Amino acid sequence: MRNKKSLSGGLFSLLANDQPGFSGDVTGKNNFNNLPMRMRSQEGAALVVVLALVVLLAALVVAFFSRALLERQISASSANQTKA
């Protein structure tokens, strides 16, 4: 079995115990505080991007249903005028 420190780059460089602020614990318990600053900022940026996309999608859904409701009201009004 190879030593973790002998592998270069990728996940193994993050798991090496010589990284400042990283304990090497990969059990999933409170690892966010132990990640290097670069990884935390990348995860924070990804969170902001995902939240922005969710807000944009929600706005599009609200706009779609608002327009559909308006079209329905116009259609009903037009049908009532035709009957009269």
Amino acid at 7: L
| Higher pLDDT pick, 16 / 65 | 65
Would you say residue 10 has pLDDT above 50?
yes
CA distances from 42 to 37, 62, 68 (A): 9, 30, 39
Dist CA 24 CA 56 (whole Å):
37
The H-or-E segment that residue 44 falls in is: helix 37-83
Would you say residue 44 has pLDDT above 60?
yes
Among residues 24, 56, 54, 21, which one has the least CA distance to residue 37?
Answer: 21
Q: What rounded mean pLDDT belongs to the chain?
A: 75
Mean pLDDT of 28-57: 82
The alpha carbon of residue 43 and the mean position of all alpha carbons in its chain are separated, in whole angstroms, by: 9
Residue 37: pLDDT band by 50, 70, 90 thresholds?
Answer: confident
What's the pLDDT score for residue 33?
Answer: 67
